[in-house]
Amino acid sequence: MSTITPTTSSTRPTGVQGRIAFETDTKNIIVYDGADWRGYASDGVSGWSGSNTYSLNFDGTDDRLDAGSVVTPSANSGTISAWIKTTSTAYQAIVSTADTSGISTWGWMAVFNNKLRITFRESDGTIKTADGSTAINDGNWHHVVAVSSGTAYSLYVDGSAETLTNSNNDGTWFGDLTSLTSTNIGSHVRSSAGNFFSGNIDEVAVWDSALNSSQITNIYKGESNGGSGGTNGTPSNLLSFNPKAWWRMGDGAEANSGTIIYDMSTFSNNMTMVSSPAYQSDTP
Amino acid sequence: MRTYCIINSDEVESVDFNQVLQTSSDTLRYSVDGSQALLKYEGTQPSFLEGKTQYTHSEIIAILATDEWTSDEPI
């Protein structure tokens, strides 16, 4: 009986075309195609255990997650999805990618003025922003999504498109920026970390393409890609949507323990806790 | 229950990071002018923080929202 070589996402073996390995941290099968590793997600037993039990609580002082690299750095369109719960009135980051050595470029999804915001800054100082219309700091869980089609932003709260207030809304996305260094959850990190999120964040995912409104509705309803059922406000398995990163905030390979939040897509964009985000059995 | 303290930055080198919730001086939150740093812990107060003012979560959030801790960088 043959076995597949065990490895981890950070200690992959030397690539030989056709070589197959099993990542014990992500539970994914990876295959070397001669140029790069290709990942095949686990059957869902680890990626989706059938329930969403944990979220991460950020205390709003200095808690964050840091990928140490840029997630989807080349994307000229894309989607960011998360579930959040907050009562804070502060300007707070949900997901941010920035030049952490300074303030030259960034793109982040945030809560601003109690509403959802997507904003990007180009190296010449031009800022592109779209603000939503629904107050989301009411202490209830909300599903929030920011999309760039490549030419315009759109925002969704709880499955519905937001009425936008725009400033230079041209859909600028990470692939349009230079000098980006790292993606964070729960903080906007430029020359220093700031805009800390106060509350709970769960089931964060990123795509390098624009999801359509039907797909976003399905994510909000816990339905698979292309399905027509589901229940409002129910996170579920995102693998059928092919995310480029999916952090389950306690329900992934981390199993609500330790300081690494594993990317449960096939791309190994694992996040490291900075300070002390806490696992909580508080979920949408 | 988390408790929060503010120390002077020149005291950071004496912090035992095994006794606080942060892990290193590199990832501490500092005041805008860099003169102060935030620490937090659960349970018993670490001995090196004796004499320091202790803050609750709501108290420290109010402090961190001031100009002393939150810069007015372009956003």
CA atoms of A118 and A167, how far apart (whole Å):
11
Interface predicted TM-score (ipTM) over 0.90: yes
pLDDT of A10: 76
pLDDT tens for residues B15-66?
999 999 999 999 999 999 999 999 999 999 999 999 999 999 999 999 999 9
Q: Looking at the complex, does the CB of residue B40 fall below 8 Å from at least one CB of chain A? A: yes
Chain mean position to CA A108: 11
Strand partners, B47: none
pLDDT of the residue at A46: 44
B21 part of contact set with chain A, CB < 8 Å: yes
Closest CA to B37 of B13, B2, B62, B59: B13
Number of neighbours of residue B16 by Cβ within 10 angstroms: 10
| Distance between CA atoms of residues A202 and A144, nearest Å | 11
User: What residues of B are in contact with residue A90 (Cβ under 8 Å)?
Assistant: 65
CA B46 to chain centre: 13
Nearest to B27 among A59, A119, A274 (CB): A274
User: Would you state the structure tokens that stand for residue A161, as one six-digit string?
Assistant: 């498109």
User: How confident is the model at residue A20, as a pLDDT?
Assistant: 85
In this prediction, residue A35 carries a pLDDT of 81
CB contact under 8 A, A90 and B65: yes
Please give the C-alpha separations between residue A37 and each of A20, A41, A207, in angstroms, as whole numbers: 9, 13, 19
Contact with chain B for residue A89, Cβ under 8 A: no
pLDDT in tens, chain A (284 residues): 456 777 877 788 887 888 888 776 666 788 888 888 787 765 544 456 668 999 999 999 999 999 999 999 999 999 999 999 999 999 999 999 999 887 689 999 999 999 999 999 999 999 999 999 999 999 999 999 999 999 999 999 999 999 999 999 999 999 999 999 999 999 999 888 999 999 999 999 999 999 999 999 999 999 999 999 999 999 999 999 999 999 999 999 999 999 999 999 989 999 999 999 999 999 99
Give the distance from residue B14's alpha carbon to the nearest chain A alpha carbon, in angstroms.
Answer: 18
Q: A117: which chain B residues are within 8 Å (Cβ-Cβ)?
A: none
Query: Can you list the alpha helix ranges (DSSP code H) found in chain A?
Result: 213-221
In which residue are the tokens 């002393």 written? B68
Residues listed for chain B: 75
- Sign for the CA dihedral angle at A134, A137, A140, A145 comes to positive
* pLDDT tens-digit series, residues A212-234: 999 999 999 999 999 999 999 99
What is the DSSP code (8-state) at residue A110? Answer: E
CA distances from A28 to A22, A50, A250, B4 (A): 6, 18, 18, 40
The verdict on a CB contact (< 8 Å) between B74 and A61 is: no
For residues A2 and A22, the answer to whether their CB atoms sit within 8 Å is: no
Q: Are strands A55-59 and A198-207 parallel, antiparallel or unpaired?
A: antiparallel
Check if A190 contacts B (Cβ < 8 Å). yes
